[in-house]
Chains A and B, each alone.
Chain A
Amino acid sequence: MRFQFKTSYNQDIRLFKDKVDASWYGLLAVAVLIVPALMSDYYVGEATWVFIYAIGGISLMALVGYTGLVSLGHAAFLGIGAYGHAYFLQHGVPWVVSVTLAVAITTASGIVVGLPALRMTGIYLTIATLAFGVIIQEVFSRWESVTHGFAGMPVEKPTIFGVPFHDEWSFYYLCLFFLVLVLWMTRNLLRSPTGRAWIAIRDSEIAAQSMGVNLAIYKSIAFAYSAGLMGLAGALFAHKIAYLAPDIFTILLSIQFLLLVIVGGLGSLHGAVFGAIFVALLPPLIAILRDSIPASMNDAAAAMNIKLLAIIGEGIGNFLKKPGVEAGIFGLILVLVILLEPLGMYGRWVKIRVFFSTFPMYRGATFKRQKSYMRSERLR
């Protein structure tokens, strides 16, 4: 186990803990940079999805994981960003300006939603954002002069300063660039007074207020920042999906983003990225399993001469082919994560790391939480 002797505050808020830490991230960066050279276009495309979801995840993480405001309306922000960007592009606005405008619009809408949110807490806020999501989805389908309603809206491939980003791998690098930018920005924000104010609000509003944190301002900033990032994710999303329709941006997508944040691990940027990997790669994984499980079970059955195995394999394959199973699997995983590992994948990762770094001395109760009784939220 490496011990760090911190001698100054600046050391405490450094981007990387120490040189070893930094070199691991450097290694990761190299790996991510050379990956497209090794993989087929399909997998590069899937990796791009991971990056886009990760930007969205960081957006929601800032709001849910750090400020403690739960939103069920983030699909609406994603949609505003996507439609705004597509609309400006259609009208011949240059790419960079268009993205900036889309992000600005989403930020503004975030502030608008955030304003009533200042008076609400907990579940009321969740339901208010839910209502916002439903309204915006209806707007997408009705405001046909801009969104083209259910007829859909094609999005052209991005061209920045005359440089085309048309194929999978160049778009991969574009998304990677934005992901790194967003990670860096968010990390900086979180180690600044703003980030500490957010965390204080999450942990106890009353305590934060007593310490002089202006709840209204910091909650508004959180909403605006989160919405703005979601707008950026939306702009990239629009390019990736290439064809916008109102029924993409439903409450189910909002739930998927929340799932991402929770499965990844609340209150950590790592968690947002882990969650994005999970959410973006699970559907293709299910699709692959759908075909490979019956086949491999069949082979096993033939090899071992057990008929039952083949029948079970067939059954699993058929089950995975039914419509709606994917949502159910997401639901099951969500339930399991909340019950067994409330800190998500990142929490599990930290536990494993601590286990090995303290190897023979690991105490089972290191991460045990205190038992708590629930008090009425109405009086909170």
Chain B
Amino acid sequence: MLIYKATELVNFAQGDLLMLGAFIAYMAVVWWGLDYWLAFLISVVTIGVFGALLDATILRNVIGQPQFAVVMLTIGLGAMFRTFASVTWGSEIYTLPTPFGGVWQVGGVTLSHQYISIVVGTLVLCGALYAFFNHTRIGVAMQATSQNQLAAYYMGIPVKLIFSLIWAISAGTAAAAGILLAPVTLIDINMGLAVALKAFAAAVLGGFGSIPGALVGGIVIGLIELYAGATLPDGFKDTAPYIVLLIMLAVRPQGLFGTLARKKV
């Protein structure tokens, strides 16, 4: 969703970047015996650089073509990443050891540090991104690039660099999300796909191109899934978010916080 905000490119490979990030962190922690935080940093930076390279080498060529070309391109890239992962790491399921072992007792509810780490991590990430987009020069430049490339270019914004930067940030975010998720979903080559589909649902629900929207959308999707799993018959747990999504799209296509206007002629 971050990439969409800036470049209007929808990245279907996001889930696979997430998976790669988790795998790199796993390698760093388990194979090389590095510290968790160092591994986190390595993974995010590696995937971030990788994202920038992807943009510079492949995705820049399709700018200006219909959005659909990009969608297919990222689907293709995602398939390649998955194959790469399955050839490199095999199809086993890994667990990432984390330093968050304990549990907190808060008013009778047991919260494991794992889940708290995810919540805190997400909040910190989103807060940082939100601030970055709205209060820094580069962030504003990214928004400008998103709205009109040509105008942004005329205003002296290095559009290409900004694009690479956006991809780097977005890929890095995906890697961070992958590492945060790793203890809960476990690491395997298909972890990305499932997460990415839900993330899309969340992004659409909240409205593309809106970070608070994405967050709210994610929470809503999560809650729907939880309640559907608890109250409705078996099988609704996985489909309920999508049913809500379909209704949502039919009723209010722009999402909760999105903007959608028709071009004036």
Let me know if A338 and B263 touch, CB within 8 A.
Answer: no
Closest B residue by C-beta to A336: B76
Bound-complex Cα distance A120 to B249 (A)? 7
**A-B CB contact pairs (8 Å), 9 listed:** A64-B68, A70-B71, A115-B250, A210-B265, A376-B8, A377-B67, A378-B8, A378-B259, A378-B260
Residues on the B chain within 8 Å of A373, using CB: 64, 149-150
Bound-complex Cα distance A255 to B71 (A)? 11
Q: Which of B35-43, B81-89, B99-107, B110-118 contacts A (4 or more CB under 8 A)?
A: B81-89
Let me know if A376 and B246 touch, CB within 8 A.
Answer: no
Interface status of B61 (Cβ within 8 A of chain A): yes
The 10 closest A-B pairs by CB, nearest first: A328-B83, A331-B79, A116-B250, A334-B76, A131-B242, A372-B64, A324-B86, A331-B76, A331-B80, A335-B76
Interface status of A24 (Cβ within 8 A of chain B): no
A342-B65 CB under 8 A given contacts A324-B82, A376-B148: yes
Bound-complex Cα distance A338 to B80 (A)? 15
7 additional A-B pairs beyond A251-B197, A339-B73, A372-B64, beta carbons within 8 Å, are A123-B10, A131-B245, A328-B84, A335-B77, A373-B64, A375-B150, A378-B261
Interface status of B72 (Cβ within 8 A of chain A): yes
Q: Mark A251-275, 1 if CB is under 8 A from B, else 0.
A: 1000100110010000000000000
Q: Which of A5-13, A134-142, A181-189, A356-364 contacts B (4 or more CB under 8 A)?
A: A134-142
Interface status of A374 (Cβ within 8 A of chain B): yes
Residues on the B chain within 8 Å of A135, using CB: 239, 242-243, 246
Let me know if A122 and B91 touch, CB within 8 A.
Answer: no
Closest A residue by C-beta to B84: A328
Residues on the A chain within 8 Å of B63, using CB: 374
Chain A count of residues within 8 A CB distance of the other chain: 55
Interface status of B185 (Cβ within 8 A of chain A): no
Q: Which of A122, A138, A330, A374 contacts B79 (CB 8 A)?
A: A330
Bound-complex Cα distance A139 to B240 (A)? 12
Residues of B with Cβ closer than 8 Å to A? 8, 10, 58, 61-65, 67-69, 71-73, 75-80, 82-84, 86-87, 91, 146-150, 189, 197, 200-201, 204, 208-209, 234-235, 238-239, 242-243, 245-246, 249-250, 253, 259-263, 265
Would you list which residues of chain A between 334 and 371 have a CB under 8 Å from chain B? 334-335, 338-339, 342, 371
Q: Which of B71, B80, B260 contacts A328 (CB 8 A)?
A: B80
Let me know if B246 and A116 touch, CB within 8 A.
Answer: yes
Interface of chain B, helix or strand or loop or mixed? helix
Residues on the A chain within 8 Å of B242, using CB: 131-132, 134-135
Q: Which of B8, B61, B234, B238 contacts A377 (CB 8 A)?
A: B8
Residues on the A chain within 8 Å of B200, using CB: 127, 130
Bound-complex Cα distance A258 to B209 (A)? 26
Closest A residue by C-beta to B64: A372
Residues on the A chain within 8 Å of B58, using CB: 335, 339
Bound-complex Cα distance A307 to B235 (A)? 56
Bound-complex Cα distance A70 to B234 (A)? 31
Residues on the B chain within 8 Å of A142, using CB: 234-235
Residues on the B chain within 8 Å of A380, using CB: 262-263
